[in-house]
């Protein structure tokens, strides 16, 4: 019986070590995947009234954007944020601050070579969805 308790205790300690180590690695991976220079491949805006698409516009090749390790970034070309900004991110949101304005974008997908994020503005009877596509 004593050996069973010892084995169970060792198993529990090993499991706790593995799971707590993975969480830190996952958090670092979520923060770090965005660091680097990205091409702003495409910007799409869709407007909806009463659930129906009423207009759509698309722009391509919108310059580059840099996300640095220190939490700062720069819009090279000025077509996204316009200049320098600070940022934080999780696996679900990209939070950009420029001056006194903070904007929270939804991260729709991210991979080492590309990511997509969006923001939705709602108003009476409709909404506007803006989506950006980035690649390395």
**pLDDT averaged per 10 residues in sequence order, the chain, 136 residues:** 52 48 47 87 94 94 91 82 85 89 91 90 93 93
**pLDDT computed for residue 85 by the predictor:** 92
Q: State the sign of the Cα–Cα–Cα–Cα dihedral 35, 99, 119, 77.
A: negative
Residue boundaries of the structural domains of the chain: 33-135
Right CATH for 33-135 from 2.40.128, 3.40.1350, 1.10.150, 1.10.287 = 2.40.128
- Give the global pTM: 0.71
């Amino acid at each position: 019986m004593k050996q069973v308790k010892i084995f169970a205790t060792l198993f529990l300690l090993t499991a706790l070590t593995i799971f707590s180590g993975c969480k830190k690695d996952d958090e670092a991976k979520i923060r770090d995947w965005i660091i680097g220079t990205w091409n702003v491949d495409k910007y799409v805006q869709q407007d909806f009234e009463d659930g129906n698409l009423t207009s759509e516009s698309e722009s391509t090749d919108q310059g580059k954007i840099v996300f640095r390790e220190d939490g700062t970034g720069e819009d090279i070309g000025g077509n996204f944020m316009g200049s320098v900004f600070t940022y934080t991110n999780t696996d679900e949101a990209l939070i950009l601050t420029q001056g006194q304005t903070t904007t929270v974008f939804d991260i729709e997908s991210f991979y080492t070579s590309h990511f997509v994020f969006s923001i939705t503005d709602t108003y009476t009877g409709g909404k506007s969805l803006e989506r950006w596509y980035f690649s390395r």
